[in-house]
């Protein structure tokens, strides 16, 4: 019987990652406190000593994410009462859809989502709103001392926070040899600022469990959970695309198609009853997305602002982005086309890479491409990319630069909201456009860095601790399908990808 560890499965003798040694940014910071961890230093994640101490790496990281979420709740506390006087929701950066839509969606009147009131979100998010919101209504309708909005927000915040903690636990499970990677999520400024702005953590938590199921070689479970995640927010469905492409490259098509098929079937199964029973309420999400104009902070918003400043066509003319703003349906088609081209590019990258790419980098590229080309990029959408980047490229320097840009956008966004509400600009619109541009550029730079590492796998930090792909599940350790070898033989030498240097 072989004593070699299975690819992607952790064992006690595996080499553990120490960020102070492996990450250049952390290594530099460690010089302030005496340098990186030494060979004889006591480490929290040393397997031989893990059972002898309470504060293991996993528990430290879980405690850190709990601290971040508590601080988030405190940061939102000026808005908890719902008595938003003098624009406190903007001046204190505490606005939350969770509280505002408790009233706007009629939950405070006992209205059932979709049946009694159209909902602007996918079905599972609407159900989540009702399951947590309606009991508060029934509890408080005969008890005026209960602040329904505050109770509803706290109930949602508690469950969403639990999902965030569960997401960290999933990352820890996927990265047993790199447990400190999960600290990127746990200490994220974006999580601190946007955790309960909307219900995105519902989809993120489900998507994390879907990836975990795939990594545990359970494609049916992975498809079902990713389908449920897609019924909460759309982006988790995008993860099935890279799974299919990687399945084709590895020749493990059956597992990939199983995950894809069960995912789409689950998505349909969740939506179909609501669509048939309450078509008007269910269709609100699609109607809103098809008619919604250019939203703040997107590529199209930046372009429209520049159109108004450059005015290439002369006085009275309309620039291309201004024209798209007035022709929303054309904008929709253009946005979808650009996203489709980006997905095609990711598929080509997955095939042309010298070794089969890991799942997480490709999933990040697809979701990032959607945001970079979309006409809507809400402030909390940063959370979509957060766990994917942790799994795809766990390097602190670029991560913190991106987070700094996101914090800058968050502050500028609230300044824009306050200026619009009061009619008095807080700062020139160009400041907000600059913040939006920096956010857009930092995400694009992250994509470029990930593409570079896909093409040069020896630069991939995760591959230094794992032989293949710890998230690959049925694909982990698989060789390329025969058609990939035939394609390589048919590729001219000048265009043929170079073999990777072993990590």
- The encoded tokens of residue 48 equal 């031989």
What angle in degrees, to the nearest 10, is found between the helix axes of 253-277 and 279-291?
110
Distance (Å, rounded) from C-alpha 280 to C-alpha 230?
Answer: 20
Structure confidence at residue 225 (pLDDT):
98
Contact 36, 30 (CB under 8 A): yes
Distance (Å, rounded) from C-alpha 39 to C-alpha 60?
Answer: 21
Phi, psi of 51 (to 5 degrees): -75, -10
Residues in the chain predicted with pLDDT less than 70, given as ranges, are 1-52, 311-316, 488-503
Structure confidence at residue 5 (pLDDT):
38
Contact 8, 469 (CB under 8 A): yes
Structure confidence at residue 276 (pLDDT):
97
Structure confidence at residue 8 (pLDDT):
40
Distance (Å, rounded) from C-alpha 449 to C-alpha 501?
Answer: 18
Alpha helices in 93-230 (DSSP H): 97-104, 123-140, 148-174, 182-186, 189-194, 200-215, 219-230
Contact 442, 190 (CB under 8 A): no
Structure confidence at residue 13 (pLDDT):
40
Q: Which residues pair with 113 in a beta bridge?
A: 117
Structure confidence at residue 28 (pLDDT):
52
Residue ranges per structural domain of the chain: 55-82+93-292+327-490
- Measured distance between the N- and C-terminal CA atoms of the chain, rounded to whole angstroms: 27
Distance (Å, rounded) from C-alpha 378 to C-alpha 262?
Answer: 29
223-268: pLDDT as tens digits:
999 999 999 999 999 999 999 999 999 999 999 999 999 999 999 9
Structure confidence at residue 310 (pLDDT):
76
Contact 31, 20 (CB under 8 A): no
Helix (H, G, I), strand (E, B) or coil at 469: coil
Structure confidence at residue 317 (pLDDT):
72
Q: How much is the pTM?
A: 0.90
Phi, psi of 117 (to 5 degrees): -155, 130
Structure confidence at residue 118 (pLDDT):
95
- The encoded tokens of residue 106 equal 């009629």
Structure confidence at residue 336 (pLDDT):
97
Structure confidence at residue 45 (pLDDT):
53
Contact 124, 151 (CB under 8 A): no
What angle in degrees, to the nearest 10, is found between the helix axes of 240-250 and 253-277?
160
- CA dist list (Å): 395 to 14, 18, 345, 361: 21, 12, 24, 13
99-152: pLDDT as tens digits:
999 999 999 999 999 999 999 999 999 999 999 999 999 999 989 889 999 999
Structure confidence at residue 370 (pLDDT):
98
Helix (H, G, I), strand (E, B) or coil at 133: helix
Calculate the dihedral angle through the C-alpha atoms of 99, 105, 110, 111, rounding to the nearest 10 degrees. Answer: -160
- CA dist list (Å): 458 to 90, 357, 374, 499: 46, 12, 33, 10
- The encoded tokens of residue 313 equal 């066509």
């Amino acid at each position: 019987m072989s004593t070699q560890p299975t690819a992607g499965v952790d064992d006690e003798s595996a080499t553990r990652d120490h960020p102070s040694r492996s990450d250049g940014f952390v290594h530099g910071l460690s010089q302030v406190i005496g340098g990186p961890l030494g060979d004889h230093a006591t480490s929290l994640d040393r397997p031989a000593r893990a059972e002898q101490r309470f504060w293991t790496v996993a528990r430290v990281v879980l405690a850190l994410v709990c601290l971040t979420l508590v601080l988030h709740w405190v940061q939102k506390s000026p808005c908890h009462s719902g008595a938003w006087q003098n624009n406190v929701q903007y001046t204190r950066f505490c606005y939350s859809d969770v509280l505002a839509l408790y009233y706007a969606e009629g939950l405070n009147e006992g209205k059932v989502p979709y049946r009694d009131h159209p909902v602007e979100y996918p079905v599972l998010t609407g159900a989540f709103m009702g399951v947590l919101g309606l009991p508060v209504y029934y509890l408080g309708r005969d008890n005026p001392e209960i602040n329904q909005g505050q109770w509803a927000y706290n109930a949602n915040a508690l469950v969403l926070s639990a999902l965030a903690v569960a997401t960290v636990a999933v990352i820890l499970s996927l990265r047993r040899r790199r447990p400190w990677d999960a600290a990127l999520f746990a200490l994220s400024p974006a999580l601190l600022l946007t955790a309960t702005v909307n219900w995105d953590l519902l989809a993120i938590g489900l998507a994390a469990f879907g990836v975990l199921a795939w990594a545990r070689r359970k494609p049916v479970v992975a498809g079902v959970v990713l389908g449920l995640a897609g019924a909460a927010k759309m982006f988790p469905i995008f993860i099935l695309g890279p799974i299919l492409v990687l399945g084709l490259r590895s020749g493990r098509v059956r597992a990939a198609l199983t995950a894809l098929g069960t995912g789409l079937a689950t998505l349909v199964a969740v939506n179909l009853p609501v669509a048939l029973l309450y078509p008007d309420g269910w269709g609100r999400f699609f109607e809103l997305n098809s008619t919604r104009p250019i939203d703040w902070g997107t590529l199209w918003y930046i372009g429209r602002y520049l159109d108004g400043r450059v005015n290439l066509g002369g006085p009275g003319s309309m620039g291309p982005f201004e024209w798209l703003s007035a022709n929303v349906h054309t904008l929709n088609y253009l946005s979808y086309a650009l996203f489709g081209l980006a997905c095609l590019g990711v598929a080509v990258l997955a095939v042309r890479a010298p070794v089969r790419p890991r799942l997480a980098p490709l999933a990040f590229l697809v979701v990032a491409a959607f945001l970079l080309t979309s006409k809507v990029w809400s402030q909390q959408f940063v959370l979509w990319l957060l766990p994917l980047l942790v799994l795809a490229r766990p390097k602190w320097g670029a991560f913190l630069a991106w987070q700094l840009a996101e914090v800058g956008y968050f502050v500028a966004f609230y300044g824009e909201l306050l200026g619009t509400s009061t009619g008095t600009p807080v700062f020139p619109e160009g400041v907000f456009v600059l913040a939006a541009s920096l956010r857009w550029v930092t995400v694009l730079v992250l994509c470029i860095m990930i593409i570079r590492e896909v093409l040069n796998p020896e630069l991939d930090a995760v591959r230094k601790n794992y032989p293949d792909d710890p998230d690959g599940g049925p694909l982990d350790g698989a060789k390329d399908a025969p058609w990939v070898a035939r394609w390589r033989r048919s590729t001219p030498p000048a265009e043929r990808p170079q073999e990777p240097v072993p990590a």
